[in-house]
Amino acid sequence: MMDMYDKYEPVIGLEVHMQLLTKSKAYASDSASYGAQPNHHISPITLGHPGTLPRSNKAVVEFAVKLGLAVGSTIRRENQYARKNYFYADLPKGYQITQDTTPICNGGSITIKNQEDGSSRTINITRIHMEEDAGKSIHDQDPFDTLVDLNRAGIALLEVVSEPEIRTSSEAYQYLTEIRKLVRYLEICDGNMEEGSMRCDANISIRLKGDKVLNQRTEVKNMNSIRNVQRAIDYEVKRQIEEVEAGRKIAGETRSFDAVHGTTYAMRSKELANDYRYFPEPDLQPILVEQDYIESIRNRMPALPQELFHKYTSTLGLSEYDAALITDNKQMALYFEELIAHTSNFKSAVNWMMGGVKSYLNENAVEIEGFPLKPAELAALIQLIDAGKISHTAATQKLFPAMIAQPGSNPESLAAALNLLIESSGDALKEWAEAAIAKYPEKVAEFKAGKTGLLGLFMGELMKQSKGKADPKAADQILRELLSI
């Protein structure tokens, strides 16, 4: 018999709110920085005092256009703001300024990868719109009262709404990981779900596999990590299947995720939900986003992870694994980009990144920003190896640590000072070769008798004598000469 859970297919759409890294708030000049004393970033505008009016922060539009371009949205020219009306203590004006019927971005998509079989899927984006955050209600600090911190009130947000095309919790995980990577590359949001600067609500329903209908959905909130979004979806899908199998109806409601128990519970019924009475915000003129403005932003767009991944795998011939590791983190990718601007030995560049550089970062628990060598210095090291001036072994074991110990020094001079440069001049080579031959007189006879495989033995000894500095080619030549006499 088929497992009852296998009969169903989850239908998931995600709404992602991201706090923008603008200096000031969306409609007031108050600082938007995180971590200030409660209620210190508040002006009469943030407080919604009588007579105050919103002032548009142009950076919000710029950030929205950046994200829209990055996911391939259509950018709207005439942007109206709307008011979403509801009463709450952390909403000083009694309404939130948002966009209703005219979101700044329509369409676009995020490509996700199946971690198991490596296949790709495209998740379409419905819309991205600009809005302001509410303040923060703190229920657990005072035994009697709810405390309100309005520092967050008015901070600029973008909301990204996906089509209900996500089918598994791991796809949701991938989708959020990609979005977070993207906004970090764009430097428009720090993507920190633990601090709430990126938040996700999941709209979840189920249907029998093969059905096309969209069934009653629930909205699940309060997941403070990407992992918890995955857990919440897993639980909620299972719960819905069990409800339906037990002959019960799914109630349209908003549910909260309980991270301790890994469950969801009902917060409020959708039927009792607010009628938000959206209407055009009369205090703000529509903002016009002209084509040349969009182009100026397009021209200043940073490289994006998908593009870099494609470039590394197709043009540079890197493996998908290596390319994924490098593009996973923007600063890492930027370092690599600069590195390959200084050397054309891409393979070696990747090996250094995955080898020496990565080990250093792991051992010292730092990010790439904390790595002491500039990409140009690392490239110079690669250059020394490629030019045959230093052996790979000497480079990894001696020179690389020495460069890290003395960042900013010239790798070649440093190698010379450490006596690591390969010797290809006759005299020194000849001396080492003679010493190597002299060490094994009986092997010389065997060699001369035709056991040519012994050349490796002499070579090894020569290298030992030279402490790795001998140029292998020249050494080979001189050994053959000396042994053939």
Partner 1 sequence: MSNHPTFLAFRTNLEAGKTSCVEQVTYFLNRIEERKSLNCFLEVFGDEALLRAKEVDERVRTGKAGKLAGMVVALKDNICFKGHRISAASKILGSFSSIYSATVVERLLHEDAIIIGRANCDEFAMGSSNENSAFGPVLNPIDEQRSPGGSSGGSAAAVAAGLCHVALGSDTGGSIRQPASFCGLVGMKPTYGRISRYGLIAYASSFDQIGPLTHTIADAALLLEVIAGADGYDSTASSLPVEAYSANLNPKNKPSVALITEFMNDTRWDREIHHKIQKIVKLLQDNGHTTGEASFPYLDHMVPAYYVLTTAEASSNLSRYGGVLYGYRSPNATDIDSTYRKSRSEGFGPEVKRRILLGTFVLSSGYYDAYYSNAQKVRRILRDKTNEILEKFDFILLPTTPKTAFKLGEISDPVTMYLEDIFTVQANLTGLPAISIPLGTHSNGMPFGLQLIGRKFSEQQMLAFASELEAL
Residue 290 Cβ vs partner 1, minimum distance, rounded to whole Å: 18
Burial of residue 458 (number of CB atoms within 10 Å: 0-12, 13-18, 19+): buried
233 close to 257: Cβ distance less than 8 angstroms: no
Q: Give helix 291-299 / helix 58-71 axis angle, nearest 10°.
A: 70
Residue 151 Cβ vs partner 1, minimum distance, rounded to whole Å: 14
- The DSSP secondary-structure symbol of 151 reads T
> How many chain residues bind partner 1 (CB under 8 A)?
29
Long-range contacts formed by 107-110: CB under 8 A, 24+ apart? 107/72, 107/73, 107/74, 108/68, 108/71, 108/72, 108/73, 108/74, 109/71, 109/72, 110/71, 110/162, 110/175, 110/178, 110/179, 110/182
- The DSSP secondary-structure symbol of 481 reads H
Single residue of 16, 32, 47, 385 touching partner 1 by CB under 8 A: 47
Single residue of 35, 282, 441, 450 touching partner 1 by CB under 8 A: 282
Name, in order, each residue with C-beta under 8 angstroms of 354's C-beta and a sequence gap of 6 or more.
322, 325
Instruction: Select 51 or 408, whichever has its Cβ closest to partner 1.
Output: 51
Single residue of 5, 36, 74, 94 touching partner 1 by CB under 8 A: 94
Instruction: Select 93 or 217, whichever has its Cβ closest to partner 1.
Output: 93
Compose the 401-440 pattern: x for residues touching partner 1 by CB under 8 A, - for all others: ----------------------------------------
Single residue of 33, 44, 265, 405 touching partner 1 by CB under 8 A: 44
Compose the 138-167 pattern: x for residues touching partner 1 by CB under 8 A, - for all others: --------x---------------------
Residue 327 Cβ vs partner 1, minimum distance, rounded to whole Å: 40
229 close to 17: Cβ distance less than 8 angstroms: no
Instruction: Select 55 or 311, whichever has its Cβ closest to partner 1.
Output: 55
Compose the 63-92 pattern: x for residues touching partner 1 by CB under 8 A, - for all others: --------------------x-x-xxx--x
Instruction: Select 93 or 199, whichever has its Cβ closest to partner 1.
Output: 93
Instruction: Select 273 or 417, whichever has its Cβ closest to partner 1.
Output: 273
Instruction: With H, G, I as helix, E, B as strand and everything else as coil, classify residue 118.
Output: coil
Could you write out the three-class secondary structure of 300-312?
CCCCCHHHHHHHH
d(CA 199, CA 226): 9
Instruction: Select 39 or 224, whichever has its Cβ closest to partner 1.
Output: 39
End-to-end Cα, the chain, rounded Å = 83
The piece of 13-21, 45-53, 297-305, 366-374 that touches partner 1 (CB under 8 A) is 45-53
d(CA 306, CA 287): 30
- In angstroms, what CA-CA distances link 427 with 340, 373, 434, 478? 37, 35, 11, 11
- The DSSP secondary-structure symbol of 18 reads E
For partner 1, the binding residues in 223-262 under the rule CB under 8 A are none
Instruction: Select 146 or 406, whichever has its Cβ closest to partner 1.
Output: 146
Burial of residue 341 (number of CB atoms within 10 Å: 0-12, 13-18, 19+): exposed
d(CA 190, CA 188): 7
Instruction: Select 35 or 51, whichever has its Cβ closest to partner 1.
Output: 51
Residue 267 Cβ vs partner 1, minimum distance, rounded to whole Å: 15
The piece of 41-49, 59-67, 72-80, 337-345 that touches partner 1 (CB under 8 A) is 41-49
User: Using CB under 8 A as the criterion, which residues of the chain lie in contact with partner 1 when the complex forms?
Assistant: 44, 47-56, 83, 85, 87-89, 92-95, 146, 275, 277-279, 282-285
